[in-house]
Amino acid sequence: MNILHGLIKGILSVGLLIFGLLLLTNLVVALQTPLGDFLINDKLGQFLAGISAVFLVLLYWLTAVPAKEEHFLTFENEGGAISISVKAVNDFLAKLADEFAGIIRLRADVATSRNGHIDVRLDVSVKAGTKVQQLSQVLQQRVRESMRDNLGIAEIHAVKVNVSSIVIAEKPASGRSADRADWQTEA
């Protein structure tokens, strides 16, 4: 249904835009189109109708873009309700990459299902030689602990780790913390 609605919206917008441009073309280029002469005989009327049609299409498309609605995780405690932005949780979890030497990049995506389950998906890039199985297990535990201890979210349905790339390790950066867990194979 959304596809049909989008198709109709697109056809109507393009049609109205073409109509407006044809009316304006009738005036500016002095190209006589049967449409302009048939609908509106005077030049001022054609100009106003053409400008109005083009303006309406542009106004529609500028205002029809839906604003991204921010989603929140809401839960109750003894003091009342607490809501935390999903974006804030994603940013918080992305910072866990700093705790693991084998992780180059971590992107978190927290989602809630209709039945209230909280699912966490982590897309990570790891250094070559990293023990992915062990790193993933520890990372899953760390996400659960961190969300429970720091955010007060204890009911996490699933933590899924997707290794999106394995990158050849570069020389360690000077700003790296010495207390990061090293999950790489022994050389």
Residue-wise pLDDT for 131-169, tens only, equals 999 999 999 999 999 999 998 888 899 999 999 999 985
Residue 174 lies in a domain: no
> What pLDDT does 12 receive?
77
The residue written with tokens 């000077």 in the block is: 174
| pLDDT beyond 70 at 32 | no
The residue segments making up the domain with residue 37 are 2-63
**Does residue 46 share a domain with residue 85?**
no
For 159, counting Cβ atoms within 10 Å of its Cβ (0-12 exposed, 13-18 middle, 19+ buried), the class is buried
Q: How many domains does the chain have?
A: 2
Cα separation, 174 vs 187, whole angstroms: 21
Same domain, 126 and 91: yes
Q: What is the CATH number of the domain that holds 84?
A: 3.30.300.30
Q: Do residues 34 and 110 share a domain?
A: no
Pair (53, 86) in one structural domain: no
**CA atoms of 174 and 83, how far apart (whole Å):** 38
Q: Residue 120: beta bridge partners?
A: 110, 159
**Of the residues 16, 41, 63, the one at which a domain ends:** 63
pLDDT 10s digits, 58-117:
777 777 666 667 788 887 778 888 889 999 999 999 999 999 999 999 999 999 877 778
Which residues 6+ apart lie within 8 Å of 140 measured at CB? 159, 161
Shared domain for 124 and 159, answered yes or no, is yes
Quick check: pTM over 0.85?
no
Predicted local confidence at residue 2, as pLDDT: 62
Q: Are residues 57 and 76 in the same domain?
A: no
pLDDT band at 173 (very low <50, low <70, confident <90, very high): low
Residues 76 and 50 in one domain: no
Out of 63, 91, 115, a domain closes at 63
